[in-house]
Amino acid sequence: MPDPIHNGLKEQLHQLSRQWMEQGLPTRERLETAAEHLADWKRRHAVQGIWPLRPRMITATLDDGMGHGLDLIERFAAVLGLSIHHLGLLQSPETVLRACHRMVPEFLGLTVLHPDSEDDLARIGNGLPPGTCLIAGGPAFTYDPEMAHRCAVAYRARNVAYFIDFVLNWTPLNAPTRE
């Protein structure tokens, strides 16, 4: 039987993502406020997320030394209930792949700023363990939308609203069996 509290969180996230996809993203400050409001709601209702068992997500950047977009993705991933392992900024493909094969996360979230990172992204996309879904975002895909396909990216998230929408509709290949 569906849990109304978990469904309440899911519905709030669904409404926000749809609104932002239709009307455009608000300011960064408003995005951060929305994430904090949802995190407070989760605490008040003692909800970990939208799944009974928390899927894992590894995050990193390949060529982004700031990680501002990744920071927002991580905030909303935590609200969704994902267990986040932040590898950090400017990570090598070898570091990312080692972490993915060690932890076998359900998701790998990458930021890619420059099209010249395609070889590194392809090495990662083609070297992931089965069941790890590569979600990538960043300006590189604006310049070359086909790069995602060539690099085995499962989903190109245009921004945090599209990321939320994708994760809300994600169905695991194998249901997570860990906390």
Mean pLDDT of 57-62: 96
Q: Is the pLDDT of residue 5 over 80?
A: no
Model confidence over 9-53: pLDDT tens digits? Answer: 999 999 999 999 999 999 999 999 999 999 999 999 999 999 988
* Longest CA pairwise span in the chain (Å): 48
- Residue range 105-154, pLDDT digits in tens: 999 999 999 999 999 999 999 999 999 999 999 999 998 989 999 999 99
> Phi/psi at 109 (nearest 5 deg)?
-110, 120
Residue with tokens 């245009």: 158
pLDDT score recorded for residue 145 = 87
**Three-state SS sequence of 111-148:** ECCCHHHHHHHHHHHHHCCCCCEEEEECCHHHHCCCHH
What's the pLDDT at 64?
82
Q: Is 0.85 topped by the overall pTM?
A: yes
φ and ψ of 97, to 5 deg: -65, -40
**Residue 3: pLDDT over 70:** no
All structural domains of the chain, each given as residue ranges with its CATH number in brackets, are 4-168 (3.40.50.280)
* pLDDT of 175 over the 60 cut: no
- CB-CB neighbours of 98 under 10 Å: 12
